[in-house]
Every structure is written in C-alpha cells, then in structure tokens.
C-alpha cells in the first residue's frame, strides 16, 4: 500500500511538472512558428540463407518520423512504422510518441513511449537502417527481442550534468507487460513500475567517444510463471567516428522467481573503417557477438535464445541519402546448426525538414537573399 | 626605369591587397544575436554549441544555429575546424541527432552572408558564422579563446 502511495505521489509530481511547463511554454512562442523535422527511412532486402526457406527479395521496414517544435521548449516526437508480415497485410505501429519540455541543457522532462534507453544500439539506430553500418542488428536488440525490453512507456528526465560532458537519464515506466516483449501500452500489468537509470560520457574530440552505463529494474508477472524480478545492466564504449567506428556493448540480465533464478550474458563488438581516396564511399565492417542464457533462467531459459555469430560486410554510400550494404553471416543458435547467409540491403533516408520554409516565411516580404555560392 | 619601378610598386601593392583580402575571407567570425550575454567562448564551448550538446545560453534562452549552405568557404572552415567532419558526416550527424530526438530540429540553413546577418540580428538566441570581411558595425562578434578574427592565433581560419 505504501509503495502504491509513493509511486502515485511521484507520478503526481511528474504530471504537475509537465502541466506547469505547458503553462510556461505557452508564454514563449518561437519566432519561427512551429518548425517540423520529418524523416522517412526505408529499406529493401535480398537474402540467401542455408537451411531456411522464403529467401529472395523482402520489403523491410518503412519508418516515418516527425518532430514538431511547439515552441522554444516544448516539442512532440512521433515515429510510426509499416512492416511487411508473413501472410498478413502491412502492420502499422506507433513506435515512439512522446512530449518533451526542455527546461535547460541539464533538465529535459518527457512522457510517452520510447526506445528503451538501455545501452547504445537500441536508441542510437533502432529503425534507422540507413544510420547503422550493418544490415542486421545484434541478436540482443533485434526486433522482437526478449532479452531487453525494446520499448519503454513512462516518463524520463534527462540532460547534461552541469556543464560537463556527462549525461544522464532517469525514468519510470510500466515495464514489460504479460507478453514479455511488449511494453505495457495500456498500463502496468502488475502495479510494479520499472525503473531506469543511465549515464554516459561524451567528450568533444575527433574520435567522438561515447561511453555509458545503464541499469533497468522491473518486476514481471508472466502468465506462465510466478512473479519474476528483473535486473538489467548494460555497459558500452563507442567511437562514433568512422576512422575507425567501434562499438562494444555488454548486457547482463538477472531474473529471480520463487522457483528458480538465472542469468543472461550478451556482448558484441563491431569494427568498421571508412576508406579514403576514391574508395571513400566504402566502409567495410566486422562484428562478433554472443548471447548466453542459463537454462534455469525463469523468464528466458526455455526460449532457446543462445547465439553466436560473426558478421562481415561492406557499406557503400553511393548517394548522399542512400546506401547499399552487402553482408555475410555465420551463425549458430540453440535452435539451428551452424548457418551461413548472405544479405543485401538498400537503405535510404528522406530528410524533409521544413525549417528552411519557416525562414523563407519569416524573411521580410520581397527580400531576396540570393542563392548559395 | 621609373616606369618599371612604378609598375613593380603597383604589382606589389596589388599582391598585398590580394593577400589582405584573402586573409579576411579565410577568417570566420562567430556572430550572435545582440541580446546574447556572451562575448567570449572557448573552442570547446563553441564546439559543444555547434554540435548541439549545449542547446541553451546561460540565461536559458534556446540557441538557434544558423549554418551556411554547402559551397561556402566559411562553411568549409567551420566543418573542418569545429565539427571536424566533411559534408557527408555533417549530414549524417544531424540526421542521427534528430532521429535520436536529441534535438527538436537541425541547424537552419542560410544561403548567404547577408541572410545570416539579417537572421542573426532578428532571431533571439541565434548564432552563426560569416566571413570576417562581412562583419559590419551592428554585428555582435564573439571572441574565440579571447581572440577576434583580426588577431594573431585566431583559430577559425
């Protein structure tokens, strides 16, 4: 009972802050009107896999994303996907939808549905195939993964720590629903909120280092088991530049129930390097990854998620907004013997920001600023 | 002989003028809206602002970033000295930044020095860069590492 009162008080505080910020923001209209950033990501794949049918061409995911700046501090972010499904029409889903109020660089408060900011890949690339170097995502963060909660419904506060290069995120949300890879869009299925705490360090510099640590705590009430306590820890070190690009990420999960307990260990390391001179459009890459799940794990032990994989390929930026990737994989999972596969992916992004139009409308009537040099 | 001397002096003067002009064009001045209460930035601070890692001024007004369209010499200098990126990396950086919802929108593109000057004096909290030779009396130029574009050691050249 005490816990419910404490959580209700916290949520009331957050709601009050959001409401207050909305009132304040209404007094600060932006001189630019309401700029919109719009991005459209798309992909088209070709695959050949050993010991598996339905190879050939495949329509990947199409993603539309809008970020509307309601005023200088308040913005609404939304992202929707259309995904081809076997034997069905396209499936449409709201992937992200949140309202954010920026008090300052140190405090940004938001509420809605996010990609869970646990680790690097899940929030850095997610549906943006054009952004990620490789065709595939690491096994731990692939679509429909059960290892980490891919989405998070709740509230987040985030920002920089003072004037430093350290950043933080703290969140409270519904956590996983009865279906463990769903985020509880309709409310918390068991009354136990999920907590999230993340920090990262991103100093300015040519290599663009980004290192982070995050913690996620939840209690899950699946249909098939007694309540399970879940603790996830993620650590990553990334060089976000291209000469080289380095991504190393480790995730540890611990699941406890009254019947059993178990751990999950997952890691991948990816190295890529943008070539120079005439070969500049090409970026070869290599990734190794491993996912180990205890058989006794009460949540994931029966799902045969164990996986080892090596991925190698190259990305060809043949256009400013489109890439072609060619990739080979050698994988071994608990359900499959060793399998080789070949993948091609054409990925693109369409950046339809209306900011420029805002400035044109802001410019004094009849004023000509000339054309770019 | 005197004609040759005059021609040589004339040529020398022309070379000097060209050198001075080239020096001016090659220096980039960082300009802010007159209400911005900042007169000096370190290169580190400038880099954080242009990378949108700092999105607010100390008085908590939002920073609006105005960036020249591709093709301008000033843009090339800013990309190499501040961003340490080429055009393709710059584009990808901002698309990623918007995709990750780290910024509400990308930098605003301006087409000329005139446009940059007009907008930076009209939009509170804005910051941009122009050729040092295009700076006029009403423009608020920010020192970088305590230096103005005309001073030796100025980093944005």
Domains by residue range for chain A, with CATH: 2-362 (2.40.160.10)
Nearest Cα neighbor of A47 from A56, A38, A60 is: A56
CA distance A74 to chain B (A): 9
Residue numbers in A near B112 (CB within 8 A):
369-373
How far is the C-alpha of A275 from the C-alpha of A315, rounded, in Å? 11
- What does the pLDDT read at residue B23? 43
Instruction: Name the residue in chain B with its Cα closest to that of A36.
Output: B105
- ipTM score for this prediction: 0.85
Range 124-183 of A in CB contact (< 8 A) with B = 124, 128, 130-131, 160, 163, 165
What are the distances in angstroms from CA A168 to CA A248, A249, A358, B70? 20, 18, 32, 34
Q: How far apart are CA A34 and CA A29, in angstroms?
A: 9
Confirm if B27 and B150 have CB atoms less than 8 A apart.
Answer: yes
Q: A27: how many CB neighbours lie within 10 A of its CB?
A: 7
Whole-prediction pTM: 0.85
Q: Residue A225 and residue A301: Cα distance in Å, rounded?
A: 12
Query: Taking CA atoms, what residue in B is nearest to A349?
Result: B95
Is the Cβ–Cβ distance between A201 and A166 less than 8 Å?
Answer: yes
Chain B nearest-CA residue for A103: B60
B54 is written with which tokens? 């700092």
Q: How close A59 comes to chain B (CA, Å)?
A: 21
**Tens place of pLDDT for every residue, chain A, 373 residues?**
455 545 555 454 444 444 444 333 333 445 556 678 899 999 999 999 987 778 999 988 899 999 998 988 999 999 999 998 887 788 899 999 999 999 999 999 999 999 999 999 999 998 889 999 999 999 999 887 889 999 999 999 999 999 889 999 999 999 888 788 788 888 887 888 999 999 999 987 667 899 999 999 999 988 777 899 999 999 999 999 899 999 999 999 999 999 899 999 999 999 999 999 999 999 999 999 999 999 999 999 988 899 999 999 999 999 999 999 999 999 999 887 899 999 999 999 998 864 444 444 444 433 444 443 3
Residues within 8 A of B (CB atoms), A 257-316 only: none
Which of the residues B87, B93, B101, B131 would you substitute to probe the A interface, choosing the one with the greatest number of A C-beta atoms within 10 Å? B101
Residue A370 has its nearest CB partner, among B53, B54, B111, at: B111
Chain B environment of A65 (Cβ under 8 Å): 98-99
Report pLDDT for A368.
42
Question: What pLDDT does residue A363 have?
Answer: 44
Query: What are the residue ranges spanned by the domains of chain B?
Result: 2-144
Chain A residues with beta carbon closer than 8 angstroms to that of B96: 124, 128, 131
DSSP-assigned beta bridge partners for residue A219: A229
How large is the C-alpha radius of gyration of chain A?
22
pLDDT of residue A52: 77
Q: A318 at the B interface (CB within 8 A)?
A: no
- Start-to-end CA span in chain B (Å): 40
Task: Give A197's contacts (C-beta < 8 A, 6+ positions apart).
Answer: A168, A169, A170, A171, A214, A215
Q: How far apart are CA A18 and CA A24, in angstroms?
A: 10
Q: Is the Cβ pair B56, A371 closer than 8 Å?
A: no
pLDDT, tens digit (0-9, with 9 covering 90-100), for A288-310: 999 999 999 999 998 889 999 99
Q: Are B32 and B38 in contact (CB under 8 A)?
A: yes
Distance, in Å, from the CA atom of A78 to the CA atom of A72, rounded to the nearest integer, reads 18
Residue pairs spanning A and B at CB distance below 8 A: 114
The pLDDT value recorded for residue A185 is: 84
Measured between beta carbons, which residues in chain A are less than 8 angstroms from residue B68? 372
Given the candidates 3.40.190.10, 3.40.50.2000, 3.40.640.10, 3.30.1330.60, the CATH classification of the domain at B2-144 is 3.40.190.10
Pinpoint the alpha helices (H) of A61-159. 121-124
Q: Return averaged pLDDT per consecutive 10 residues of chain B, 157 residues in all.
A: 65 51 68 96 94 94 93 94 91 92 90 92 95 90 95 91
Burial of B126 (0-12, 13-18, 19+ CB in 10 A): buried
**For residues B101, B104, B109 and B113, what is the CA-based torsion angle, rounded to 10 degrees?**
-120
């Amino acid at each position: 009972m005490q816990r419910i009162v404490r959580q209700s008080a916290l949520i009331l505080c957050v709601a009050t802050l959001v409401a207050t910020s909305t009132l304040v923001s209404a007094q600060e209209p932006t001189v630019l009107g309401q700029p919109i950033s719009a991005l459209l990501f798309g992909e088209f794949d070709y695959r050949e896999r050993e010991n598996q049918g339905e190879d050939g061409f495949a329509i990947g995911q199409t993603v539309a994303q809008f970020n509307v700046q309601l005023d200088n501090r308040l913005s609404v972010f939304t992202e929707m996907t259309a995904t081809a499904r076997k034997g069905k029409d396209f499936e449409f889903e709201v992937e992200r939808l949140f309202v954010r109020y920026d008090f300052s660089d140190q405090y940004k408060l938001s509420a809605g549905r996010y990609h869970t900011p646990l680790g690097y890949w899940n929030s850095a690339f997610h549906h943006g195939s054009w952004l990620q170097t490789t065709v595939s995502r690491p096994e731990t963060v692939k679509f429909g993964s059960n290892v980490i909660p891919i989405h998070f419904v709740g509230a987040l506060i985030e920002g920089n720590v003072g004037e430093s290069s350290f950043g933080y995120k703290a969140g409270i949300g519904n956590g996983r629903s009865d279906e463990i890879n769903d985020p509880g869009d309709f409310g918390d299925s068991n009354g136990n909120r999920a907590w999230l705490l993340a920090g990262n360090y991103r100093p300015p510099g040519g290599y663009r280092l980004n290192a982070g640590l995050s913690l996620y705590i939840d209690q899950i009430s699946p249909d098939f088991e007694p309540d399970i306590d879940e603790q996830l820890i993620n650590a990553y070190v990334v060089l976000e530049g291209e000469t080289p690009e380095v991504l190393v990420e480790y995730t540890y999960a611990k699941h406890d129930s009254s019947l059993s307990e178990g751990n999950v260990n997952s890691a991948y390391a990816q190295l890529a390097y943008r070539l120079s001179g005439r070969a500049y459009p090409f970026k070869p890459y290599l990734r190794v990854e491993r996912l180990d799940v205890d058989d006794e794990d009460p949540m994931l032990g029966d799902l045969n998620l164990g996986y080892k994989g090596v991925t190698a390929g190259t990305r060809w930026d043949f256009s400013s907004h489109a890439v072609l990737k060619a990739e080979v994989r050698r994988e071994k999972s608990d359900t499959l013997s060793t399998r080789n596969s070949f993948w091609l992916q054409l990925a693109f992004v369409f950046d339809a920001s209306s900011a420029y139009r805002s400035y044109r409308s802001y410019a004094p009537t009849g004023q000509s600023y000339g054309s770019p040099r | 002989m005197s004609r040759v001397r005059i021609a040589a002096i004339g040529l020398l003067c022309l070379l000097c003028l060209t050198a001075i002009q080239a020096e001016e064009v090659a220096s980039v001045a960082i300009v802010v809206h007159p209400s911005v209460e900042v007169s000096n930035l370190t290169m580190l601070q400038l880099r954080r602002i242009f990378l949108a890692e700092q999105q607010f001024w100390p008085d908590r007004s939002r920073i609006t970033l105005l960036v020249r369209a591709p093709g301008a010499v000033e843009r090339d200098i800013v990309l190499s000295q501040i961003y340490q990126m080429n055009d393709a990396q710059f584009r990808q950086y901002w698309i990623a930044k918007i995709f990750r919802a780290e910024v509400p929108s990308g930098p605003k593109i301006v087409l000329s020095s005139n446009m940059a000057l007009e907008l930076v004096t009209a939009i509170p909290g804005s910051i941009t860069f122009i050729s040092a030779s295009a700076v006029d009396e009403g423009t608020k130029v920010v020192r970088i590492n305590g230096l103005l574009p005309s001073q030796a050691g100025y980093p944005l050249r």
